[in-house]
Amino acid sequence: MAREGDGSLSEVWARVGSLHRINDLAHTLHFYERWALDYDQDVANLQYRAPRLAVDCLSQAFPGPPHSALILDVACGTGLVAVELQARGFLQLHGVDGSPAMLEQAQARGLYQHLSLCTLGQEPLPSPEGTYDAVLMVGALSDGQVPCSAIPELLRVTKPGGLVCLTTRANPSNLRYKAALEATLDRLEQAGEWERLVAWTVDRWELATSKLEEVPGTSDTDGYIPGIVYLYRKQEVTQVEGVRPSAQPLTGL
């Protein structure tokens, strides 16, 4: 793996591009085990903005003081989301990830009160129902990582009225997964499990790993892939059939 000053951006593109082509969870976890030491530098070279964008979205919608909120960072990786959360006053942080090597890097940051090894999609989250004020999953919603079928598990551990913040890429190779994800999100909303507050499309998500993946158009977006941040609020009470909640969902930031 490349370290600062050692590897070229083209090497990082090739590495991340190969990850995007993996559609098997076991191979993905093996990739992350080998990538853990160099992950932060590589994604910095790619100008990866998802952790900051997701936490910006969550913090603007969060209804109470951040320091008293209990937050779960799912697929926490090396802890980049925790860095952003702490900067905005969220101090009670739990994390889970399927890679022991990634968890070692997250532990070294000293920002989480508790970290757990958990492969979401193969096993439930290690928390009781209604534990967290907010749950985030940033960067793990794609083929070969967390399946759409695991989304209800995020809702299970969220408190009634709590927030769930998710991200996914919107580049061409991820569009099939994105469509399946949005169908899952919509079904949960139609079932009255949560309400959508934000669906925020961002053009400059990270640098594209190939010309086929980048956003065409203006010089401001050429060379980048798009992504999207979703924010939902878990319903506090069971709705009466046919009655929509009175809160008006936001359409963006």
What's the pLDDT tens digit per position in 49-61? 999 999 999 999 9
User: Which pLDDT score is estimated for 242?
Assistant: 52
User: Which pLDDT score is estimated for 246?
Assistant: 43
| DSSP state at residue 211 | T
Closest CA to 92 of 114, 107, 62: 114
Q: Catalogue all structural domains in the chain, each as residue range(s) with its CATH number.
A: 22-212+223-234 (3.40.50.150)
Region 55-80: mean pLDDT is: 97
Q: What's the mean pLDDT when you consider all of the chain?
A: 89
Band (pLDDT 50/70/90 cuts) for residue 6 is very low
DSSP 106-168: HHHHT--SEEEE--BTTB--SS-TT-EEEEEE-S--STTSS-GGGHHHHHHTEEEEEEEEEEE
Region 224-243: mean pLDDT is: 82
Distance of CA 74 to the CA centre of its chain: 7
Q: Could you give the CA distance from residue 36 to residue 242 in angstroms, rounded to a whole number?
A: 48
Write the CB contacts of 212 (distance below 8 Å, at least 6 apart in sequence).
172, 173
What's the pLDDT tens digit per position in 147-175? 999 999 999 999 999 999 999 999 999 99
